[in-house]
Structure 1
Amino acid sequence: MLTSKQRSYLRGLANSIPTIFQIGKEGINENLVKQILDALEARELIKISVLNNSLLDPKEVANELVVMVEGDVVQVIGNKIILYKPSKKDPKIMLPL
């Protein structure tokens, strides 16, 4: 669970990163979850876009993904989701206390 200070720090870092995944009308599938897990292990902080043609609400998508990847939602704003999960092998982001 992230504190508000940590969440704010991660939101600042996420401003400069590009969106690397898009969720469309196919929704969330096993392959997408595996790719997101790999990206979180490599980057720790990722941005996902929920397309307008998706049948899912961005908040619903964020809640489902957090359970599947065992990470944290940093922010859901508009159709963008920012997820964080510390790397098990090589942590890169040092969170404030």
Structure 2
Amino acid sequence: MTTPHPGTAYKILTADQWAQFQTDGIFHGAPVDLADGYIHLSAADQLQGTLDKHFAGQSGLVIAEVDLAALGESVKWEVSRGGALFPHIYGPLPMAAVLGTRGLD
């Protein structure tokens, strides 16, 4: 029996990335996303590990909660860190799919 995937996931953005996202209304990805060909997201239980591994020591971060259902077929759950399945978006992230944000200092 497989466990269904959660309906939301999280994108960690720098303050500059968030400001550009707000201006454009669409996010095409951070440099790592563009290099890999998809936008990296984390499920709720993966978020702290992603922060620790990729954003340690950074301030002004914004965590955007993303409605995965709004993105439809562009979301793929794929094996990543430690063999866990992570949500990836193959395409841009529209602001309409962001349910809310919170800042990290």
Q: Is TM > 0.5 for Structure 1 vs Structure 2?
A: no
More strand by share: 2
TM-score after normalising by structure 2: 0.29
